[in-house]
């Protein structure tokens, strides 16, 4: 099993975009999660597993939810769809299973309608059709029957597509970007397993079983699985005491992503832009003597460090790389003096004195041992 390390770029900040201000913006991965133990939608920063936001999905007096199962984002509308157990007025004597959605723009939830059956998970087809899988619907002691259905996005009502004749608990589904169905199975009465599309099958329920999952997955119940299109693999949430979350590649490699501080029974992945974390190497390009100014004294300091024996060396070579070509030489002093005194000369690249302290957006070998920046 491969454990989390710095090389897992898909979990940390996934790619930085240069910005004309400060430290720039980065694409950051978040997990949206729901739990059968409450009605809360949580936004979890993936690299730290920190809950950064939470919102109650109930509308008191209008739509009250006891629990939520499954979470999938409509690829057409962007709405978050979930399965809930709750009540609508006039309140029935017991909670009813509902399909409902949350609008992340309008910041409100709305019931679609009763799903009638006891569903455990859902996922979207690429065309916007929604699929769902039930819990075991058979009486105790009889052969399990797990229904795979289409759900009506106007009424919530199910249309049966096919049945699985095995399963014990926690059955979950994932659908990839081409519409292939995957099923994470059980883990209560028997070892958990993953089922994949059967190329010879005639129905969505014709799946092959992967028989060589890592033991860490097999030995614990499955809470939910989610297809991660960008990474071409699965997020696998387990029901162990540590609430472990793993990444499972199509080749079978398993990576621990972290541990949640709450039960998870539905998960979706989103990517948002956020300020990039500072690298600790903030500097001002051209500030060679690190006095937080850029003037002729910096050109003198740079030339001295290059050509005068015993002169003070550059403590921040990034600051001395004035033309941002990845090296520090006399051309940088010429560039600095031209930018200061020759009208129409090229300005000093980011981060210059006008930008203030910032990170080097260029990947090169120059670093800062010390800097005048805070």
pLDDT at 60: 85
pLDDT at 294: 96
Q: Which of 57, 62, 167, 179 is nearest to 118 (CA)?
A: 167
Neighbours of 56 (CB within 10 A): 12
pLDDT at 152: 98
3-state secondary structure of 74: coil
Burial of 264 (0-12, 13-18, 19+ CB in 10 A): buried
Task: Give rounded-to-5 percent helix, strand, coil for the chain.
Answer: 10, 40, 50
Residue 219, C-beta contacts closer than 8 angstroms, at least 6 positions apart: 187, 191, 192
Q: Where in the chain is the domain with CATH 2.120.10?
A: 15-275
Residue 115, C-beta contacts closer than 8 angstroms, at least 6 positions apart: 83, 97, 98, 99, 132, 151, 156, 157, 158
CB contact at 8 A, 118 and 137: yes
Q: Which of 182, 171, 180, 167 is nearest to 234 (CA)?
A: 182
Helix (H) or strand (E) holding 128: none
pLDDT at 165: 77
Q: Where in the chain is the domain with CATH 1.10.1330.10?
A: 282-374
CA distances from 341 to 61, 288, 294, 345 (A): 71, 17, 12, 8
pLDDT (tens place) for every residue of the chain, 374 residues total: 433 322 233 343 333 333 333 445 678 899 999 999 999 999 999 989 999 999 999 998 889 999 999 999 999 999 999 999 998 877 666 789 999 999 999 999 999 999 999 999 999 999 999 999 998 887 777 777 899 999 999 999 999 999 987 776 668 999 999 999 999 988 776 788 899 999 888 888 999 988 788 999 988 889 999 999 999 999 999 999 999 999 999 988 999 999 999 999 999 999 987 765 555 578 999 999 999 999 999 999 999 999 999 999 999 999 999 999 999 999 999 999 999 999 999 999 999 999 888 888 887 878 888 887 87
* CATH entry, 282-374, from 3.40.640.10, 1.10.1330.10, 2.60.120.380, 3.50.50.60: 1.10.1330.10
Q: What is the bridge-based pairing of β-strands 254-259 and 130-134?
A: unpaired
Give me the CATH topology for the region 15-275: Neuraminidase (2.120.10)
pLDDT at 25: 63
Take residue 114 and report the two structure tokens written for it: 């009763």
Helix axes 296-307, 330-341, angle to 10 degrees: 170
């Amino acid at each position: 099993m491969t454990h989390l390390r710095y090389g897992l770029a898909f979990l940390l900040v996934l790619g930085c975009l240069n910005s004309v201000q400060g430290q720039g913006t980065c694409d950051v991965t978040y997990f949206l999660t729901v739990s059968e133990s409450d009605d809360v939608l949580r936004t979890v920063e993936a690299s730290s597993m920190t809950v950064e936001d939470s919102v109650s999905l109930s509308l008191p007096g209008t739509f009250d939810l006891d629990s939520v199962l499954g979470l999938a984002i409509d690829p057409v509308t962007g709405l978050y769809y979930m399965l809930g157990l709750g009540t609508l007025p006039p309140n029935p004597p017991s909670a009813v299973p509902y399909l409902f959605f949350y609008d992340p723009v309008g910041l409100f939830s709305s019931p679609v309608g009763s799903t009638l059956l006891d569903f455990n998970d859902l996922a979207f087809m690429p065309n916007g059709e929604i699929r769902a899988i039930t819990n075991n619907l058979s009486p105790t002691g009889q052969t399990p029957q797990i229904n795979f259905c289409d759900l009506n996005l106007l009424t919530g009502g199910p249309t049966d597509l096919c049945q699985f004749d095995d399963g014990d608990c926690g059955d979950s589904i994932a659908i990839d970007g081409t519409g292939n169905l995957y099923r994470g199975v059980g883990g209560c009465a028997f070892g958990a397993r993953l089922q994949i599309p059967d190329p010879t099958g005639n129905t969505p329920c014709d799946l092959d079983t992967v028989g060589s999952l890592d033991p860490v997955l097999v030995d614990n119940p499955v809470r939910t699985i989610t297809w991660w299109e960008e990474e071409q693999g699965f997020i696998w949430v387990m029901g162990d005491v540590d609430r472990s979350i793993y990444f499972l590649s199509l080749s079978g490699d398993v990576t621990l992503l972290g541990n949640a501080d709450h039960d998870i029974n539905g998960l979706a992945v989103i990517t948002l832009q956020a300020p990039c974390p500072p690298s600790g190497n903030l500097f001002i390009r051209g500030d060679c003597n690190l006095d937080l100014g850029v003037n002729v004294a910096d050109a003198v300091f740079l030339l001295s460090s290059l050509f005068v024996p015993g002169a003070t060396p550059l403590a921040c070579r990034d600051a001395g790389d004035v033309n941002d070509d990845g090296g520090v030489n006399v051309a940088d002093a010429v560039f600095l003096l031209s930018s200061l005194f020759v009208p129409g000369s090229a300005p000093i690249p980011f981060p210059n004195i006008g930008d203030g302290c910032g990170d080097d957006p260029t990947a090169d070998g120059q670093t800062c041992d010390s800097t005048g920046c805070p």
